[in-house]
Amino acid sequence: MLKCPAASCSFRPVSSISNPRNVVPHLLKPNIVDRRQLLISLTTVSVTPLLESTNILSTSNANASLFQMPPYRLINRYFLVRAGESEFESLGVINTNPVAKTSMDSGLSIEGRRQTARAALKLKAMGACDQSCWIWPSITQRAYQAAEIIASVNGINRSLIVPEYSFLDARGLGAFEGKTLDAVAQVYEADNISPNIRPPPIDDGTPNESVSDVFVRVTQLMSILETQYSGDTVVIVSPDSDNLTVLQAGLLGLDLRKHNDLFFSPGEVREVNPDEIPAYKEPASGAFKCSNPPSCI
C-alpha cells in the first residue's frame, strides 16, 4: 500500500483524467495549433534578433550578394595568377575535361614548377601576403600545386588555401579536347565574333563553354569572395588563361569578345587595380524622374 504524508499528496478525481459520460466530448479536444502561425511567431521572436546581432542584414552584405560586373567597388584586394605549365601543356595537348582535373597528368610540369616558383616570388615582392592572404585555387591538380608553392614561398599556412571545386575549372573546349594547343586559335576566332559561341560539343564529358558561360562562373566566384571576406587579400589561382582574362575584362567593363587581348602566360601574376574599374553610373531607370505621373513623356 502506498503511504505518504497527507500534506504532500494530492490526487485528482478520476473524472478529471478520464472522459466520463457526463462530460461533453468536444470540451476535451486539444487546441489545434496553426503550424504556419507558429513558424511565423518563432521567426519573428528568434531569427530577427539573431540576424540583427550578427549583422547579416547589413547593407554591405546585402550589396555584396548582388555583385555585378563591373562592380560598384571591391571590398577586397585581389591578385590573379595562372598556374604554371601542366604536363599536358608541355606535350602540346589540350586537356580541359574536368574528369581528369585531379589526375597527376594534369599537374605541373618541371617547367611549370619553375614558372610557379617565379610567380610566388613575384607575389612576395609585391607584398601580396605581407598581412596574410587567402589563396583560392581551382581543385585542378596544377592550380592546387601552384597554390601550395605560393603558400610555402610566402609563409602562408596551408589552412588558408581554399580549393574551388567548379567555378575555376579550366574552360571546357568541347571537341577540341585532345587536339594540339594550336587549335585554341579557332576558339578565339569564334570568341571575337560573339561571346555566346560555344566550341563544338563532344560526348566524352568535356564541357563546351562560351565566353559568356565562363563569365557566369567567374561572376559567381567574385560574388562569393566579396560576400565571404571583407578587407582581405585573395590570390586567385586558375589552371588556364580564359578564367582570368574573362574575369579581368568583366571587372574593367571591357568587351568580352576581346578577352584574349588580356592573355595570361603560364605563371603570370597581375594585381587587380581598383583605379582601373570604371566609375559607377546610375542606370537611366534610376536617374530619370517623372515630374507629372502618369504622363512622363
Q: Residue 216 — φ and ψ, nearest 5°?
A: -60, -45
CATH number of the domain residue 206 falls in: 3.40.50.1240
- Write the pLDDT tens digit of every residue in 255-273: 999 999 999 999 999 999 9
48 pLDDT tier (thresholds 50, 70, 90): very low
CA distance 235 to 79: 5
Q: What pLDDT was estimated at residue 211?
A: 98
Q: How many domains does the chain have?
A: 1
Q: What pLDDT was estimated at residue 247?
A: 97
Would residue 50 count as lying in a domain? no
pTM: 0.74
Q: What pLDDT was estimated at residue 278?
A: 86
- Write the pLDDT tens digit of every residue in 100-128: 899 888 899 999 999 999 999 999 999 99
Would residue 235 count as lying in a domain? yes
Q: What pLDDT was estimated at residue 146?
A: 98
Q: Indicate the burial class of 291 (C-beta count within 10 angstroms; 0-12, 13-18, 19 or more).
A: exposed
Would residue 14 count as lying in a domain? no
Residue 89: Cβ within 10 Å count: 22
Mode of pairing for the β-strands spanning 233-238 and 77-82: parallel
Q: What pLDDT was estimated at residue 272?
A: 96
3 vs 84: which has the higher pLDDT: 84
Angle between helices 211-228 and 242-252 (to 10 degrees): 70
Strand partners, 135: 161, 235
Check whether 59 has a pLDDT greater than 50.
no
Would residue 286 count as lying in a domain? no
* Average pLDDT for 69-93: 96
Would residue 69 count as lying in a domain? no
Would residue 184 count as lying in a domain? yes
CB contact set of 19 (below 8 Å; sequence gap of 6+)? 25, 28
Would residue 95 count as lying in a domain? yes
Indicate the average pLDDT of the chain: 82
148 pLDDT tier (thresholds 50, 70, 90): very high
Would residue 169 count as lying in a domain? yes
Query: Which domain does 197 fall in, by range?
Result: 77-272
